[in-house]
Amino acid sequence: MDRNCIFCKIIDRQIPSNVVLEDETAIAIRDVNPQAPTHILIMPKNHIANITQAENAETLGSLFMKVGEIARLEKLEKGFRTVVNTGDDGGQTVDHLHIHVIGGRQLHWPPG
């Protein structure tokens, strides 16, 4: 756990959140500032700063396997978007790896 990381504090239940899914290695929570009717963040319980810092395929693989589960739970059969922002240029604001799952409305492309 990184003491300065807001997502680590959420995982540790020091900060409340709306949990959608949880197992030994990962947690999915509702984004506090949703950009669409469904906006969920899937993250590993271990602190990993961003996608470039992931140390093995298993970590990333099991995280991405949660996407389909979330889509089914949230009934996103019309589609959705997965986003992983990385670093300043990527618009990452919390340095704890997370996958955004955004859906429930027509999304536009390209992103800004």
Annotated catalytic, 98?
Answer: yes
CA distance 112 to 110: 6
Our finding on whether 7 is near Zn ion (CB under 5 A) is yes
Q: What are phi and psi of 72, to 5 degrees?
A: -65, -45
Instruction: Give the bridge partners for 59, in sequence order.
Output: none
Binding residues among 11-40 for ligand 5GP as defined by CB under 6 A: 15, 17, 29-33
C-beta closer to ligand 5GP: residue 33 or 52: 33
Catalytic residue among 39, 47, 96, 98: 98
> Which residue in the set 93, 110, 111, 112 belongs to the binding site for ligand 5GP (CB under 6 A)?
93
What is the three-class DSSP state of 98? Answer: coil
Q: 38-77 mask for ligand 5GP (x: CB under 6 A)?
A: ---x------------------------------------
Q: Residues with Cβ < 8 Å from 85, sequence gap 6 or more?
A: 91, 92, 93, 100
